[in-house]
């Protein structure tokens, strides 16, 4: 009997407690939030948010670059009430591109942090020693990655807001226009050297930074938000703190926006954003997360007063971002393209023309210290074939780039050797396709391209029609390989354009710029 009475008393007490709680807090509300994993560091503040506003945020952390599949049509009910992202730029472009199918949500910037590089002290010192004034750029990082001096970790741009912002920043610096990327600025060869240095990746930068301390020899640098790198340094898990570098050619700035996905929750959303933007909360967010405040009444801490400098603009079209991400590919898979260079060594190339060719090749091997030269150079893991031809093949050599010695081998081929009196353009292209078809059959996953440079018309060997018949007999292996033709001097541009078009490539006129610029434009771009 006593046990039954006790149970009844407990039930009554619980009911009274619940009733009392409801009476005390009638406006309590739980909002479902889809959040970038990077924002897990705000979790300790959420109890205070709930106490102050009566709004509980139920956080689900998921690496998602643009909320694909998460935002319903304009009239639909969302799976989440709010989204809290590192950046909503890709998502807003997807909304813009939907033609009204998707609703544009209200968005409030909460904090800011630029995407930067954190380098080991030794790596930073080595790079600074070779840069004007010790100011390191994205181009310097790309150059060091291409020749094997830099291995870096970065979140997967296909899945991560942070990884995508980093990729946009590097690509914008590579374009060198000083403005947002345009379609014509996204060149698939510009980031191959940079990409070759990526040795670590993860679905999010939070996962990347959680993994790195366990194997610090796997990378010399991490590319992430300034805030994340400051937090990593402060965590005491590194043998030596990373030196945070704000690249001199600009950075993309993330603003960690809170998005209202369900308009029915606007009142609660406003309570939350007002609380987050208050001076006290902004100071606490800055202290806990190392992100810069958006409230101008809050003075940044000493470590956050480093100027952002040139804040790079995000592209204004979704297609540009998607093409950039597609070109970059899966960062977990190593790069390893193959390019076959067919170089005219007929006697007409003597003098200034062969000097220009040799200078162009030396530039691609690392001698060109311009910004575009650093981004467009030959890179580690690339397979390069050089075929010198006149009236016949004069010399042929293939190397896989592992270091400077391999590039020196190819430079010697271009710098030395004799000339021939005839010009067998189509025989040389036929030889190139046989090399390429063998490469495609051996490794179908590896992109292969041909670059044909000549200063004269065909006067020996195969005719163009004979070349086409031979090309057709090679079948699918040859169909997958484009030819980029570079007319020089007295070459027949119409004939070379026909060949490029027939093989899925294009003609690049070196006369409009220089042979060096033409090689930069097309090298490996396939």
pLDDT tens, N- to C-terminus, the chain (526 residues): 333 333 333 233 333 333 333 333 556 899 999 999 999 999 999 999 999 999 999 999 998 777 665 655 555 677 899 999 999 998 899 889 888 888 889 999 999 999 999 999 999 999 999 888 899 999 999 999 998 899 999 999 998 888 998 899 889 888 888 788 888 788 766 788 899 899 999 999 999 999 999 999 999 999 999 999 999 999 999 999 999 999 998 899 999 999 999 999 999 999 999 999 999 999 999 999 999 999 999 999 999 998 887 888 899 998 999 888 888 888 888 767 899 999 999 999 998 888 888 888 888 888 888 888 888 888 888 899 999 999 999 999 999 998 888 888 888 888 887 899 999 999 999 999 999 999 999 998 888 999 999 998 999 999 999 999 999 999 999 998 999 999 888 888 999 999 999 999 988 877 655 777 777 766 544 4
Whether residue 144 sits in one domain with residue 240: yes
Whether residue 131 sits in one domain with residue 76: no
How many distinct structural domains can be found in the chain?
3
Taking CA atoms, 523 is separated from 370, 377, 398, 493, in Å, by 16, 9, 16, 19
Residue 332 domain-assigned (yes or no):
no
Whether residue 129 sits in one domain with residue 180: yes
Torsion angle of alpha carbons 235, 160, 102, 93, nearest 10°? 100
Rounded Cα distance, 68 and 63, in Å = 11
Could you tell me the CATH number of the domain that includes residue 411? 3.40.50.410
> Angle at the Cα of 311 (from 213 to 178), degrees rounded to 5?
120
Could you tell me the CATH number of the domain that includes residue 261? 3.40.190.10
Please answer whether residues 213 and 120 qualify as being in contact, where contact means their C-beta atoms are separated by less than 8 angstroms: no
Whether residue 130 sits in one domain with residue 79: no
Those residues with Cβ within 8 angstroms of residue 54's Cβ, 6 or more apart along the chain or in another chain: 25, 27, 28, 29, 271
Q: Alpha helices of 346-424 — where are they, by DSSP H?
A: 352-362, 371-376, 404-415
Please answer whether residues 154 and 201 qualify as being in contact, where contact means their C-beta atoms are separated by less than 8 angstroms: yes
Element (H, E) at 485: strand 483-487
Strands 483-487 and 448-454, bridge-based pairing = parallel
Whether residue 121 sits in one domain with residue 98: no
Residue 386 domain-assigned (yes or no):
yes
Please answer whether residues 188 and 526 qualify as being in contact, where contact means their C-beta atoms are separated by less than 8 angstroms: yes
Helix, strand, or coil (residue 255): coil
Rounded Cα distance, 434 and 387, in Å = 12
Please answer whether residues 482 and 447 qualify as being in contact, where contact means their C-beta atoms are separated by less than 8 angstroms: no
Burial of 301 (0-12, 13-18, 19+ CB in 10 A): middle
Whether residue 259 sits in one domain with residue 223: no
Beta strands in 99-158 (DSSP E): 106-109, 111-119, 152-154
Please answer whether residues 216 and 224 qualify as being in contact, where contact means their C-beta atoms are separated by less than 8 angstroms: no
Taking CA atoms, 296 is separated from 269, 278, 279, 340, 419, in Å, by 21, 10, 9, 56, 69
Tokens (6 digits) for 282: 């902004």
Whether residue 201 sits in one domain with residue 98: no
Whether residue 281 sits in one domain with residue 200: no
Whether residue 262 sits in one domain with residue 240: no
Residue 513 domain-assigned (yes or no):
yes
Q: Hey, how many other C-beta atoms are within 10 angstroms of the C-beta on 347?
A: 13
Residue 421 domain-assigned (yes or no):
yes
Domain that holds residue 193: 113-254+309-327
Residue 333 domain-assigned (yes or no):
no
Residue 412 domain-assigned (yes or no):
yes
Q: Alpha helices of 399-492 — where are they, by DSSP H?
A: 404-415, 425-442, 464-473, 476-479
Whether residue 219 sits in one domain with residue 144: yes
Whether residue 262 sits in one domain with residue 362: no
Whether residue 121 sits in one domain with residue 90: no
Which candidate, 41, 42, 323, places its Cα nearest to that of 164?
A: 323
């Amino acid at each position: 009997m006593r046990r039954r009475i006790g149970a009844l008393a407990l039930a009554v007490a619980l009911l009274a407690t619940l009733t009392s709680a409801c009476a005390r807090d009638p406006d309590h509300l739980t909002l479902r939030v889809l959040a970038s994993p990077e924002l897990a560091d705000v979790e300790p503040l959420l109890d205070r948010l709930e106490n102050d506003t009566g709004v509980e945020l139920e956080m689900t952390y998921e690496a998602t670059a643009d909320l694909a599949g998460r935002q319903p049509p304009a009239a639909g009910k969302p799976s989440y009430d709010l989204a809290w992202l590192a950046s909503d730029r890709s998502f807003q472009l997807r909304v813009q591109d939907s033609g009204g199918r998707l609703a544009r949500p209200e968005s409030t910037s909460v904090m800011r942090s630029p995407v930067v590089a954190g380098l080991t002290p030794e790596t930073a010192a080595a790079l600074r020693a070779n840069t004007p004034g010790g100011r390191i750029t994205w181009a310097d990082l790309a150059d060091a990655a291409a020749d094997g001096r830099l291995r870096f970790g970065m979140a997967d741009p296909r899945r991560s807001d942070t990884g995508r912002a980093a990729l946009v920043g590097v690509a914008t610096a590579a374009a060198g226009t000083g403005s947002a990327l345009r379609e014509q600025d996204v060149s698939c060869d510009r980031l191959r050297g940079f990409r070759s240095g990526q040795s670590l990746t993860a679905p999010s930068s939070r996962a990347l930074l959680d993994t790195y301390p366990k194997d610090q020899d796997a990378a010399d640098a991490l590319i992430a938000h300034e805030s994340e790198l400051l937090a990593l340094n402060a965590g005491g898990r590194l043998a030596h703190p990373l030196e945070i570098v704000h690249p001199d050619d600009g950075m993309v700035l993330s603003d960690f926006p809170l998005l209202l996905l369900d308009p029915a929750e606007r009142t609660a959303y406003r309570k939350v954003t007002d609380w987050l933007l208050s001076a006290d909360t902004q100071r606490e967010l800055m202290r806990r997360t190392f992100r810069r405040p958006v409230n101008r009444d809050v003075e940044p801490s000493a470590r956050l007063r480093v100027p952002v400098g040139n804040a790079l603009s995000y592209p204004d079209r979704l297609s540009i971002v998607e093409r950039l991400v597609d070109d970059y590919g899966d960062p977990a898979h190593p790069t390893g393209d193959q390019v076959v260079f067919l170089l005219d060594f007929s006697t007409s190339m003597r003098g200034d023309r062969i000097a220009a060719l040799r200078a162009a090749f030396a530039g691609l091997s690392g001698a060109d210290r311009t910004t575009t030269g650093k981004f467009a150079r030959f890179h580690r893991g690339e397979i390069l074939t050089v075929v010198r031809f006149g009236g016949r093949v004069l010399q042929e050599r293939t190397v896989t780039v592992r270091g400077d010695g391999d590039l020196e081998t190819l430079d010697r081929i271009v710098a030395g050797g004799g000339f021939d009196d005839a010009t067998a353009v189509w025989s040389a292209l036929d030889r190139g396709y046989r090399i390429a078809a063998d490469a495609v059959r051996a490794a179908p996953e590896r992109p292969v391209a041909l670059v044909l440079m000549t200063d004269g018309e065909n006067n020996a060997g195969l005719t163009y029609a004979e070349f086409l018949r031979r090309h057709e007999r090679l079948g699918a292996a040859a169909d997958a390989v484009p030819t980029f033709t570079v007319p020089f001097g007295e070459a027949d541009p119409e004939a070379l354009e026909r060949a490029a078009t027939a093989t899925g490539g294009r003609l690049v006129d070196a006369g409009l710029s220089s042979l060096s610029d033409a090689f930069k434009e097309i090298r490996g771009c396939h």
